Amino acid sequence: MVKFSYHQRVLPSPPAIDFASDEGKKLFREAFLAGTMVGFFKLICYFQTQSELTYCGLASLAMVLNALHIDPGKTWKDPWRWFHESMLGCPEQLEKVKAEGISFWEVANLALDYGAEVEAFQTSQIDVKFFRRSVKECSSSDNRHLVSSYDRATLKQAGSGHFSPIGGYHEGSDMVLILDVARFKYPPHWVPLTLLWKAMDTVDKTTRGTRGFMLISKPKRDTGLLYTLVWAMLC
Amino acid sequence: MVKFSYHQRVLPSPPAIDFASDEGKKLFREAFLAGTMVGFFKLICYFQTQSELTYCGLASLAMVLNALHIDPGKTWKDPWRWFHESMLGCPEQLEKVKAEGISFWEVANLALDYGAEVEAFQTSQIDVKFFRRSVKECSSSDNRHLVSSYDRATLKQAGSGHFSPIGGYHEGSDMVLILDVARFKYPPHWVPLTLLWKAMDTVDKTTRGTRGFMLISKPKRDTGLLYTLVWAMLC
């Protein structure tokens, strides 16, 4: 029996523009010089591939928590404390995510559980102007990152519900850079902000609500040291 | 018993400059505008964390093979063909690498096994001018990447033998960008090229030879499709 497999997929372009293409680099250059790629630098240091096909939400979260230098308070591989997707949630929750994926609010709650400050918005609560303002703010600083929950089909991509962090904004073309954590499928790419808005403004069958985005930042008081002391005393 | 663990280490600076610091971004900006960050764009799309503490060589290799879009010819997670460290080498070799790490020539041989073109140089065979020329060439194009094998102690860093890809070059200060795959330890950072040369010009106890670097590029004839057809017929 012939079994099909894929070595990446062709990025539907338009609407997307490959980050590492000549056009993608031109957008990067202009956005960088305009000051809307500030958040990119911290975020790209921790860009990762989702380790399971249903872990896009967990991978996006691990990436942002590491970029914010939040201390997980427990070790990944002794002696290193580091956020890996397999550490997010209890074993039962991880099994569920592996089988079914994860919902928007579950990702937001996990971010809270690990000490981040989170503001989560469904598209039904806000408008595209608010989204654009949030993208611009996150792209112009490095202390807050935006994770988008969207429907791939709207972007003409293979698949459906997906999560990924946003790595930058190009004002002239009103495009955002998606740091797609399914790197085995598509490279990072620019898409029109209004199209990403439409892709977020879709109903998730699980929550029966619209998708949206969340802003994740480091808490003013980092509880990592406290966790570490408790951890050290228990070992 | 109190058990120590680390949430990253403080990057010894000098000699290193954190990629995402103001000074690091200034170097990036100048190097980018000067055309010596071309290779960075493809490479950074696949920047990853080594999944085991001894997998720096395998992680550097997986990152470069993915950046070159070489087809592994076998699936990582069905239906996706993708280079993950755990796919590089047979189980016995992986067990050995997990226990002891990997030598310079073993990494070069693995790259060859997976269809890449490889040129490997120990510092004893060449001089710093040749290294600088190689760094400049790789930084100015995106079809060949450089992996360095060096001694961390020379850079005042914790640890000893290590591998990482080089992500760019800043000619004015003669500094290179190390995309350190031990991201749980240090962020990516710039270091003086001559210091990295010194760090490579050290003896590896296993091979009893000096360390060095390798240039990895995509073969003119990609064998991925052939592998895929064989794979498909066997399944």
Q: Are A69 and B186 in contact (CB under 8 A)?
A: no
Report d(CA A105, CA A91) in Å as an integer. Answer: 18
Give the pLDDT confidence score for residue B235 in this predicted structure: 37
Report d(CA A100, CA A57) in Å as an integer. Answer: 12
Q: Does the beta-carbon distance from B81 to A2 stay under 8 Å?
A: no
Other CB atoms closer than 10 Å to residue A69's CB: what's the count?
14
Q: How many residues does chain B have?
A: 235
Q: In the annotation, is A180 catalytic?
A: yes
| Token pair 């790595």: residue | A167
3-state secondary structure of A113: helix
Q: What is the pTM of this model?
A: 0.92
CATH topology of domain B31-234: Cathepsin B; Chain A (3.90.70)
| pLDDT average per 10 residues of sequence, chain A (235 residues) | 84 96 97 96 97 96 97 93 93 92 93 94 96 97 96 96 98 98 98 98 88 92 55 47
Cα–Cα–Cα angle for B178, A184, B102, rounded to 5 degrees = 45
3.30.160.150, 3.40.50.10680, 3.90.70.30, 3.30.530.20: CATH of A27-234: 3.90.70.30
Mean pLDDT rounded to a whole number for chain B: 92
Taking only residues 194 to 233 of chain A, the set having a beta carbon closer than 8 angstroms to any beta carbon of chain B reads: 224, 228, 231-233
| Token pair 């969340």: residue | A214
Chain A residue numbers touching B77 (CB-CB < 8 A): 52-53, 184
Q: Are A185 and A53 in contact (CB under 8 A)?
A: no
First-to-last C-alpha distance (Å) of chain B: 52
**Which tokens is B145 given?**
């990447």
Q: Out of A24, A41, A183, name the one closest to residue B20 (CB).
A: A41
For residue B138, the 8-state DSSP code is H
Residue B226 pLDDT more than 70? Answer: no
Give the pLDDT confidence score for residue A235 in this predicted structure: 37
Give the strand order in the sheet containing B212-217: B17-18, B189-192, B175-178, B161-170, B144-151, B212-217, B117-122
Give percent above pLDDT 90 in chain B. Answer: 86
For residue B82, the 8-state DSSP code is -
Q: How far is A209 from chain B (nearest CA, A)?
A: 30
Report d(CA B32, CA A44) in Å as an integer. Answer: 16
Assembly ipTM: 0.91
